[in-house]
Amino acid sequence: MNIINIEHISKIFGEKTIFQNASFGIHAGDKIGIVGINGTGKTTLLRMIAGLEEPDEGQIVRQNNLKIAYLPQNPEFPAGATIRFWIQDCEEEWKVQSNLERLGITEYDQNIEHLSGGQRRKLALAKVLASDFDVLLLDEPTNHLDEAMIIWLEDYLRSYRGTIVMVTHDRYFLDRVSNKILEISRGQMYSYDSNYSRFLELKAEREEMELATERKRQSVLRIELEWAKRGCRARSTKQRARLERLEALKNGQAPVQDQTVELDSIETRMGKKTLELEHVSKSFGDTVILEDYSYIFLKNQKVGIVGPNGCGKSTFVKMLAGIETPDSGTIEVGDTIRIGYFAQEEKHMDDSQRVIDYVKDIGEYIQTRDGRISASQMLERFLFTPDMQYAPVGKLSGGEKRRLYLLGVLCQNSNVLILDEAGNNLDIPTMTILEDYLNSFMGIVIMVSHDRYFLDNVADRILEFDGAGHITQYEGGYTDYLEARGGAGFGMDGTKLSDVNDNGGKKVQSKASADSGKTWKQNRPVKLKFTFKEQREFETIDSEIEALEEKIVALDDEIMKNATNSGKLNELTKQKEETETLLEEKMDRWVYLNDLAEKIDAQKNG
């Protein structure tokens, strides 16, 4: 049964429509992953379910006495509070302490303001999980968590029998935990009873069905327009009905697909010398970050950096970017090296500055493989519509600001990209295109990330920090790293990563080898043509459709005349339904034959 009903809600921020007459039901035991492009309202929906915001129209109905716990994306803490002070107001303080120990926090007299982002995240998570709840709302729960903590949280949520609604960009996490996906797109909600892997298939099927319906509408519209051009007797009942259908077809809306971020790799020449570390050491008090470490980054290398929170990963990349200095040793940067640094926390943005001016400050024009493009064009490729470009930065959502910050880094014509937790607050579509961009990037990529899927798709080498100043090197992506150290993660289809082959995939026959037995005759292009039967059908189908339409009009007249004769009325109604079904089949056939005719003509003319 539904424990929360979202009924016909609408929500507008300024000129931006977030939800428009959207509805959705949450059942007891659902583990729902919310997906969608940044700015579509994922966080807003969580806040409305939690009762922290209200829809402009519609309502959210909750079961009586339903207890809801909410982990926001950016938890807030009292100024100057210690961990011990902050957890004292909890009814079950021991539960919070137990969760903190599992999450690796044992020193309770620390000032919360001095904790890292990951430690503050653990603190908020420990308190939320210790509360008494029926429904758990999680906004980006894996942000700032290291691999061990993410796996612990996965196991906890998988075993929890209550209801979970979460927003996350971590695709492995989403795939393992969720049993339902809620997609938010252009103000509407689409529900899929599946995990993330199956959702991708179901979404593709839905979009294909929408496109097929639109192709049919366009084809039928063509034939109706051709009929209208030939002239018609508008006074007759049949012609009036056909003209009304033509108007309905013209007013129909084509399905609108979500845009995706488009990125062109921006290339800058790189000389022989890249980034070279020689006997580098770094400590903060008694905490050793790096001890006598030497390494040379190779051209076009994609290096993933992993390790527990607080082990110094961010400090390491800050040293590479020249923001921090080593205690001893040297970091030499080649003369041709240009570094683009994407920090874990985006730099301060002037909320009053227009979005387009933020990019213009980097450059009026950006050099890409396709030549120079303007700042406005680059923004459009990053899903910033013209009206958004001239809006102040302060109007953007957290995820949209993150995307703008990423655009600014990528527009700097760098040949070394340093990304510190790039996935934080970025939506899955943006992450997917970023992965494609980095794979084609002609330069060095150095990325700190706990996003296992991201590392599997991009990294060709993993550097693991052990928290004691030492780094171990592993070849390959995240899956290869897990196998080499004897770990067991899970892939997008739920398969244990330890069960995959040496290339990080299941042992299947490659397409190239599967196709290798085909002869040149089998591979040559097929010549399109009508069969004899199809040619005859193509020549007569227009008149058959017209005859069926006339029959339906005649049946309508007969139904009106026999409105009081129940026996005759049932017979006529049945005939009309059968005729309409036949007309629908003929129209589908008409679409197929006309599409084939167009392809045959194109082949002849090509």
Strands 275-284, 461-465: pairing is: unpaired
Spatial distance between the Cα atoms of 237 and 243, rounded to a whole number of angstroms: 10
Spatial distance between the Cα atoms of 60 and 429, rounded to a whole number of angstroms: 28
* Per-residue CA distances from 503 to 131, 256, 272, 413, 506 (Å): 43, 37, 30, 32, 8
Spatial distance between the Cα atoms of 317 and 386, rounded to a whole number of angstroms: 35
Residues near 2 by beta carbon (within 8 Å), at least 6 away in sequence? 25, 26, 27, 63
pLDDT tier at 516, thresholds 50, 70, 90: very low
- Residue 472 or 225, more confident: 472
Give me 199's structure tokens.
């959702």
Edge to edge, the sheet with strand 461-465 lists 339-342, 416-420, 444-448, 302-306, 461-465, 471-475
Q: What are phi and psi of 436, to 5 degrees?
A: -60, -40
Count of Cβ atoms closer than 10 Å to residue 167 Cβ: 24
Which of 181-195, 242-256, 464-478 has the lowest average pLDDT? 242-256
Q: What are phi and psi of 403, to 5 degrees?
A: -65, -40
- Which residues pair with residue 418 across a beta bridge? 341, 446
Over range 101-128, report the average pLDDT: 86
Mean pLDDT of the chain: 82
Q: According to the model, what pLDDT value does residue 217 have?
A: 64
End-to-end Cα, the chain, rounded Å: 59
* Per-residue CA distances from 374 to 357, 366, 381, 391 (Å): 12, 6, 11, 18
Short-list 190, 185, 154, CA closest to 170:
154
Give me 452's structure tokens.
């296992």
pLDDT digits (tens, 9 = 90+) for 121-169: 889 999 999 999 999 999 999 888 888 888 889 999 999 999 999 999 8
- Residue 46 or 554, more confident: 46
- Backbone conformation region of residue 36, classed left if phi is above 0, alpha if psi is from -120 to 50, else beta: left
CB contact burial 536-564 (16+ within 10 A = b; e otherwise): ebbeebeeebeebbebbbbbeeeeeebee
Please say if the pLDDT value at position 104 is more than 60.
Answer: yes
Q: According to the model, what pLDDT value does residue 178 have?
A: 94
Which of 160-169, 219-228, 259-268, 442-451 has the lowest average pLDDT? 259-268
- Backbone conformation region of residue 39, classed left if phi is above 0, alpha if psi is from -120 to 50, else beta: left
- Residue 590 or 3, more confident: 3
Q: According to the model, what pLDDT value does residue 478 have?
A: 92
Short-list 481, 432, 429, 487, CA closest to 460:
481
Please say if the pLDDT value at position 186 is more than 90.
Answer: no
Spatial distance between the Cα atoms of 316 and 51, rounded to a whole number of angstroms: 41
pLDDT tier at 55, thresholds 50, 70, 90: very high
Which of 341-345, 357-361, 433-437, 443-447 has the lowest average pLDDT? 433-437
CB contact burial 287-306 (16+ within 10 A = b; e otherwise): ebbbbebeeebeeebbbbbb
Model-level pTM?
Answer: 0.66
Spatial distance between the Cα atoms of 309 and 306, rounded to a whole number of angstroms: 9
Please say if the pLDDT value at position 210 is more than 50.
Answer: yes
Query: Please, is 464 exposed, middle or buried when counting C-beta atoms within 10 Å of its C-beta (0-12, 13-18, 19+)?
Result: buried
Say if CB 180 and CB 494 are below 8 A apart.
no
Which of 167-181, 221-235, 270-284, 467-481 has the lowest average pLDDT? 221-235
Helix, strand, coil % (nearest 5) of the chain? 45, 20, 35
Over range 468-493, report the average pLDDT: 78
Q: Give the DSSP letter string of 27-57.
A: ETT-EEEEE--TTSSHHHHHHHHHTSS--SE
Percent of the chain with pLDDT over 70: 83
- Residue 212 or 527, more confident: 212
pLDDT tier at 527, thresholds 50, 70, 90: low
Q: Give the DSSP letter string of 475-534.
A: ESSHHHHHHHTT---B-TTS-BGGGS-TTSS-----HHHHHTT--HHHHSPPPP---HHH
* Per-residue CA distances from 519 to 4, 345, 511, 516, 523 (Å): 59, 56, 15, 8, 7
pLDDT tier at 216, thresholds 50, 70, 90: low
Please say if the pLDDT value at position 501 is more than 60.
Answer: no
Q: According to the model, what pLDDT value does residue 569 have?
A: 82
